[in-house]
Structure formats: structure tokens, C-alpha cells
Amino acid sequence: MKLKIAILPGDGIGPEIMKQGVAVLNAVAEKCGHEFTYEEALVGACAIEACGDPYPEATHQACMNADAVLFAAVGDLKYDNNPTLKVRPETGLLAMRKKLGLFANVRPVATFDCLLHKSPLKEELLRGADFVVLRELTGGMYFGEKYQDNDKAYDTDVYTRPEIERILKVAFEMAMQRRKHLTVVDKANVLASSRLWRQIAKEMEPQYPEVQTDYMFIDNASMRVLTEPRFFDVIVTENTFGDILTDETSCITGSMGLQPSSSLGEHTPLFEPVHGSWPQAAGQNLANPLAQILSAAMLLEHFGLKEEGALIRKAVDASLDANVRTPEIQVEGGQKYGTREVGEWIVNYIKA
């Protein structure tokens, strides 16, 4: 298969983990006889530095012209530490999602047996946990009207019926493909937008009679994903709740560096780690490349390359079993591996 992939390394650890993601894609292409071509483009702080725009038109064109986008992360301390800098790297990410119409962010949460002990949670609660958080990605507070002066600030939490219906349709259909259990997570006891989500979900329920649908407040869900992770199959929720909930679920997988995602919608699909740019670790060969590599696996699976995706997953499992791990999941007293060494080990496994 021929695939044209837009490569967006972004900021911080982004370029380092992306290098490993692309190396793994190349190893798969070589092994399985595919032709993947790449066009690299700027997004985030590096794009602001280059041209003053965190999502330049040239990057948008590269994304639109590609079959898929492989993205790493954006964010830089310079902007976190200086609130007078009004153009932030993260607005590049939001603009990209909005312009590509990527409203459905699929964030799978699964355990790795050899890392269960790394979690702060009890092993017996975690074993076998396997669910998906479907995060709405182009609405809510992230995109609603904002205001800030010295004395007052607000973000508006807006959702329209079509925005809610389209993400719920994806959620119900995903549940049908899995264990037929959907949990709608909201804050309907307080928020009007949540009440509309709940109303529309209840209206849609009869179209999917095989799906067991339940409703949970975000505060309760935040507790239940940690105390009863096996309860969940598909969680659907709005933008902000989904962002927060999936950092929390890194306690289930064992590391933020192990959570990949896909973003689907109107235009080119995008694949990215759930984690951010970790600018403090940039250039130090410390970051875990596995979320990026697993995002590449999701990319291939999206185009029907199931065996190729499975090959990457097998290589990732093998690297973890062989204790070839970055510091945050390293075996106590074991050998240290960096971003590069983990990536190279996986490439060699795939080529063997």
C-alpha cells in the first residue's frame, strides 16, 4: 500500500519520539512491502518561532494533501511562564483539529501485564481492563467564547445538537463493535451543556437497543475508572472532561508514555500520543517513544493494515517484556534505555 503521511513533530520531546515513530513505520514498510512517503511540517511553538503562526497555512496544506497525519506534541515553557505572550503553541493544535474537522478523539486504555505493578492501583483491579475513551474534540470550553482582563475571565462551554449527535453516533457504533456497553460521562446535575448531551443520548438509545447505556457524572467517573476500570467498555464525553480523564487513565496503563490516540472526522485522520511535549526533558533521550509508536500502529490499522499494526504491538510488548524501557517504567536496578535505544530495539525486532 502507498501512504502519504504528514509528519508534525512539534515541540519539546516531539522531534525525538517522532524520529522513532517514523523509523518504525519505515521498518514495517520494508518488511511488508509498503511505500510510505512523508512531508514534515511545523506546528506549535516551533511554528510560532518560524513564522508567528502556530498552525501555518503550509502545514494545513500538508495535512490536507496527506492520507494521514502523524503528530507528536506541542507546548513550550516560554509560553507557560509568560502569560503576556498571547499566541500559544496549543492554539496551533486546536486550529489543526478544527480545520481538519477532527471531532472524534479515540483514546484506548489497556493494561500491559508486565507493567501492572508499576501502577499505583491494585493489580487485581487492573488485570484485563480494556476500554476506550471517546473524547469530543472540536467543541466545549476549548472553543467557546473566551474573555480575560485583570479582574474577570471566562470560557464558554457551548455544544450544539449536531456536534453532540455526531460524536454520540460514533460512540454507539463503537460500542456495537465492542462489548456493547456505553457510558456517557457528563456533569448534568450542574451544566446545561451536559443536560443537552444527556437528553440527546437518551433520544438516540432506541436506535441501538443492544447497547447498554449508562450515565455517570464526571466526578464519579473519575473515581470509578480507577476503582473499577473493568466496568467500562466505551466512555463518551465532552472535550475538557475527556482530556482530564485520559491523563488519569495513565495510572491504568502504567505511564503517560504508553497512551496513543487517533482523531477522526471530516478530513485527514490524525494520530498522536495522548501526552504533551514535556519540554523539561527535550533533547535528553528520556521520553518514552511507545505512545508515538503505538499511534503509528493505530494509523496503519485505520487503513486496514491489521497485521502490520499487530506486528508493531507485538514488538512493543516484546520490548517491555525484555525490560527495554525508558526510565519512568524501568525495572528497579535494571539497565537504562533512552528514547533512541527503545526505538532501535523495536525496529530491529520488526526487521528480524
Instruction: Return binding residues for Mg(2+).
Output: 219, 243, 247
Closest CA to 301 of 254, 260, 352: 260
Residue 35 · residue 45 · CB < 8 Å: no
Catalytic residue status for 55: no
| C-beta of residue 51 within 8 angstroms of C-beta of residue 87 | no
Residues in the annotated binding site:
97, 107, 135, 219, 243, 247
Q: How far is 325 from 111, CA to CA, in rounded Å?
A: 16
Residues that bind ligand GGG (CB under 6 A): 73-75, 90, 93, 243, 272-273, 276-277
CA atoms within 13 A on the CB side of 92: 32
Q: Least distance (Å) from ligand GGG to the CB of residue 90?
A: 4
- Toward ligand GGG, which CB reaches closer, 157 or 243? 243
Catalytic residue at 142? Answer: yes
Q: How many CA atoms lie within 13 A of 143 on its CB side?
A: 21
**Catalytic residue (one of 247, 306, 321, 351):** 247
Nearer to ligand GGG, 271 or 349 (CB): 271
Picking from 296, 348, 297, 352, the residue whose alpha carbon sits closest to that of residue 319 is 348
The one catalytic residue in 219, 321, 336, 351 is 219
Query: Least distance to ligand GGG from the beta carbon of 272, Å?
Result: 4
Minimum CB separation from ligand GGG for residue 302, in Å? Answer: 17
Q: Which is nearer to ligand GGG, 223 or 244 (CB)?
A: 244
247 given a catalytic annotation: yes
CB of 273 to ligand GGG, least distance (A): 5
What is the closest distance, in whole angstroms, from the C-beta atom of residue 143 to ligand GGG in the complex?
11
Query: Active site residue: 53, 157, 159, 187, which one?
Result: 187
User: Which residue is catalytic, options 79, 142, 337, 349?
Assistant: 142
Closest residue to ligand GGG, based on beta-carbon distance: 73
Query: Quick check: is 67 catalytic?
Result: no
Which residues carry out catalysis? Answer: 142, 187, 219, 243, 247
